[in-house]
Amino acid sequence: MMGYSHSVTAAGAWLALTELGITPHQDTGTLVVTTLACAGAGMFPDADHRKGTIAHSIPPFSNIITALIATLSGGHRKGTHSILGVLAFWALAYFSQTLTHNGIPWVSLALTAFAGGLALRVFKAPGGWLGAIGLGYLAWQTDSLSLVPWAIFCGCVMHIIGDMMTTRGVNILWPITIKPPVGTKIWRKSGYFSLPVLGDAGSARENILTSAVTVYILWFALAYFAVIHTFPSQWLSNLWH
């Protein structure tokens, strides 16, 4: 999947969890911060890519960090695209909250701002990293930080699901690789798993899925700000009955 598709599907999943009441109730500021953090984290697993969006985000720091992540995780689509990788991203977000200076969890705020800023960049919001700084401030003002690790978790999980839906698949069990006796489309010779309903990354089917999720997000936003009366889930359940 392409970066944009990862971010859109991550944000869509987070809003769906919100709509279904699976995440706790959030005020508007918190929802903005967590949704954008989730959308940005939707690209985190590709931080193992030395030429990807994250590598080019804040040079030269981002180049150094992505090179380090690529080395630690064994290369592209390996460690960061596994259960272990998701847990590592979650743990980074969770434990960074405990690192405070003068009572302010700077690392956690910076991570939240960075994730949200990545999303703003991929959604082509104007203002560059200024938006990220604004989000960091909003995160501090709204108690969003306790939910951010879960938003990041959701984004990373959605990334792996997205890549799994493409032909190459992912090895979620990394660093263990179990190769099948006979390679199939679902359990590939490489030991990677995939359910390639989208075909290759960047396919027309991927674009259709991303467009559908974009419509869902816009619909959610219109309902949330009371421009229209029915949330997507309400409409669906009305359809059912």
CB of 158: closest distance to Zn ion in angstroms?
Answer: 11
Cα 71 from Cα 29, distance rounded (Å) = 37
DSSP three-state, residue 199: strand
The 81-120 site mask, x for binding Zn ion (CB under 5 A), equals ----------------------------------------
Options 14, 78, 163, 216; binder of Zn ion; rule CB under 5 A? 163
Question: How many Å apart are CA 110 and CA 16, to the nearest integer?
Answer: 26
Residue from 46, 140, 158, 192 touching Zn ion (CB under 5 A): that is 46
48 part of the interface to Zn ion, by CB under 5 A: no
- 58 vs 55: CA distance, rounded Å: 7
Q: Which among 116-124, 157-165, 188-196, 214-222 is the span making contact with Zn ion, rule CB under 5 A?
A: 157-165
* Phi-psi map region of 170: left, alpha, beta (phi>0 left; psi -120 to 50 alpha): beta
77: nearest Cα among 174, 182, 222, 179: 174
Q: How far is the CB of 166 from Zn ion (least distance, A)?
A: 9
**Contacting residues toward Zn ion, per CB under 5 A:** 45-46, 163
